Amino acid sequence: MNKLYRTGFFLVLCMYINLPVFAASIVTVEIKLTENGKSLTKREIITTDGDNARLDFLGEAKEKTDKTPYLLTIDGGKSWILGNTYKGEFYCANVDPVAFFKNIGEIVTDVVALVNPKVLDIKVDKTKEAPGPEILGFPTTQVQLVTTAKAQATFMFKKYEYTIKITDNLWYTTKLEIQPFRKRWMEALKQSGYDKLDKMFSDWAKQLPGPVLKQESEVILTNVIKNETQTQKEKAEITSFKEVKSSEIPKDTFTVPKCENINQKQLESTAKDMVKQGKLGL
């Protein structure tokens, strides 16, 4: 799986934008990432119609082409098709969200057992809640969630100590419902089998009773022993949406290509990449 597609896949699975329900719609999301003073803006187009949803990862491109990687579900998120058409290549797989996150839970549990951490603490605090501005014509509430975690461990006679702080500012509305596929994914996040991780996602999600229309986040990772800090900022916002009739959506949008189920090795590789990049939906 190429880097462009993999990055888009991680973002759309773990970004905080909970798409609102419209009968059929075409939504554009803009994501801006900033790290070490450098910024990168990516775009995604989400087309939905009932249980059908397709997410096209344009990356930095402004228009969708036949080479654009995508993610597709036709059953409300029970399974997914990953279509990688970048550089003429094609790859697709069925991915069950619950199985995927249980795999992540197993990996995290194995890592925890391996390094035998002396301290492992994860918590989510709501530090702000206030009326927000109208977005897409809907009233919003702004909530700020601060997720913190710390760990200290010894591995191969070497000591490690890290802290992480993630500050999420989110603007949600209660005037709309969350898309079925997003609801299923959020439920899967709570079923990894790793108790601390599942509790963290549950504590985070319960603060959001409606779809998120805008999100701004800052991630600060600190190597306590070396006194080194890395900071990454992310901003995701729905920049446009258009309600359409089913007949107005191109016929091939939800066409399922011939594909093979993802194998265990590929599933584990993708899960490990998400753990490594910290893209677990914190």
Q: How confident is the model at residue 25 (pLDDT cuts 50, 70, 90)?
A: confident
Q: Which of 48-57, 122-131, 150-159 has the lowest mean pLDDT?
A: 150-159
Query: What CA–CA distance (Å, rounded) separates 199 from 188?
Result: 12
Q: Which of 127-131, 143-147, 228-232, 236-240 has the lowest mean pLDDT?
A: 236-240
The candidate with the shortest Cα–Cα distance to 16, out of 194, 208, 220, 271, is 208
Alpha-helical segments (H) within 1-83: 3-14
Quote the pTM value: 0.73
Give me the pLDDT at residue 89, please.
56
pLDDT of 195-219, one tens digit each?
777 888 888 888 988 888 899 999 8
Give me the pLDDT at residue 8, please.
34
